[in-house]
Structure 1
Amino acid sequence: MLYKQYSLKMTYQFFINYSYLIVEPNSRNAIVIDPAWELEKITKLLKKNNAKLRAILLTHSHYDHTNLVPTLSEAMQPDVFLSQKEINASGFRCERLHAINDNDSLSLGGLSFRCLLTPGHTTGSMCFYLGNSLFTGDTLFTEGCGVCIRPGGSPEAMYSSIQRLKREIKNDVCIFPGHSFGMPPGQTMEHLRKNNIYLQLNREHFIKFRMRKNQLGLFDFQ
């Protein structure tokens, strides 16, 4: 086994996020992706695995993906990785922050991640590719894709990012998004190709559909 992976469903008021804890069994080094809420869940799993938090990977800078970074940084002193474009656009700062760029390779605790820049939800959104798993933050959900209406958002960029993932990610790769809207994380890219409408639209229709008015909610995908 190359690594153990835990999908942590985090709840805080009306925010529900997925954070991911990855442990390399030999070194017992751990990496957490987008730590949001419920610190006790992360610390409990670290203790259970006798693991040390080596790094934090951030798909983007929004509060519901970075809330626990200061706490974890102070308590465990991990390195923190965020795209250079996101750092520049958002002004996000923390201790031991390292800038990363498109197609960078990160070797962390015996694990090798490939960084894929996928703007659209934010200017510098990043996906992380590890083994047979892709961690997509708010770029690509099982059921849809992230909103493009906040500062740094762009439906044109989101379309290009979705098309990139369609080209580069094989059907058997499991997708682990930052949020779930009915389906549990870990569905295959093949499943998304068949069932996620945003992977089936051309550029014009994608932009119109994602930005249409009178949606029932921000995550009304149909």
Structure 2
Amino acid sequence: MNRNTYQLEILRVCSGRYINYSYLIVDRKSRQAAVVDPAWQLEAIESALERYEAELSTILLTHSHKDHVHLVPPLCQRYAPHVFMMQKELDYYHFSAPSLYGLKDGEELKVGHTSITGLLTPGHTAGGGCYWLEGSLFTGDTIFTEGCGMCSSEGSDPVEMYYSVKRLQQLMPADTRVYPGHSFGERPGQSMSRLHEMNAYFQIASLEHFVSFRMRKGQTSLMSFH
């Protein structure tokens, strides 16, 4: 997938029952690359780097859950990249890695000539974040195409999730492509306008209704959306 300044590779990675999506962003001019939420299959990331003849300079982490940070240690050992996570997430969970930098809300970083903005979107975790660049939004477990992340673990908060979802819903242009950490039927890369149509949580206007729906009893699984 091509944008003006970067190329994007979607990486479906698995470990047992876990299925995640990691993403490789390659700056077209410098061939520097960033990987978003690297997990489970190191060979998938390394093969993508080889295909694009790219150098891994950056790791972008949306939050600190194991299935999103699993490959940080071996990647740091092999490539010595800079690692980014929202500062609020670092302060709460004390995640550590070499060359680790905490981002403030709205802070910009660069991968080669490609500008990327970190957005603080708590709810699933205390300081979860998304990464926004031209035409693309990487959302981790904040929003999926079909719903939003669970809010029942340490540091999570359905009230914060409401404000994070509504912020992204209002901030993102309709043609922005959304790349979440998991998929529950729809392929990653759906447009924001598509989410406006099919994401149940985008349809809920009031905070009270949103919280009661996200935290309702009797859900068949933690990933139930409807």
Give the alignment's TM-score, normalised by structure 1: 0.99
**Which residue in the other structure is 1:216 paired with?**
220
**Which residue in the other structure is 1:170 paired with?**
173
- Out of 147, 155, 163, the residue aligned to residue 152 of structure 1 is 155
Paired-residue identity, %: 48
Q: Report runs of 4+ in structure 1 exceeding 3 Å deviation.
A: none
CA RMSD of aligned residues (A): 0.7
2:83 maps to 1:71: no
- 1:1-45 alpha-carbon deviations (Å, 9 max, x no partner): 411100100100111000000111221101000001110011111
Q: Which 5+ residue runs of structure 1 have no aligned equivalent?
A: none
- 1:68-119 alpha-carbon deviations (Å, 9 max, x no partner): 0000000100000011100011110011101101000112221100111000
- 1:141-164 alpha-carbon deviations (Å, 9 max, x no partner): 000000000001000000000110
**Which residue in the other structure is 1:182 paired with?**
185
Report if aligned partners of 2:104, 2:118 keep a CA contact under 8 Å in 1: yes
- Out of 24, 27, 32, the residue aligned to residue 24 of structure 1 is 27
The number of residue pairs the alignment matches comes to 222
Q: Per the alignment, in what secondary structure is the counterpart of residue 4 of structure 1?
A: strand
Letter of the structure 1 residue corresponding to residue 169 of structure 2: K
Give the alignment's TM-score, normalised by structure 2: 0.97
Q: Which 5+ residue runs of structure 2 have no aligned equivalent?
A: none
**Which residue in the other structure is 1:205 paired with?**
209
Report if aligned partners of 2:63, 2:129 keep a CA contact under 8 Å in 1: yes
Equivalent-residue separation in structure 1 for 2:110 and 2:42 (angstroms) = 25
2:119 maps to 1:119: no
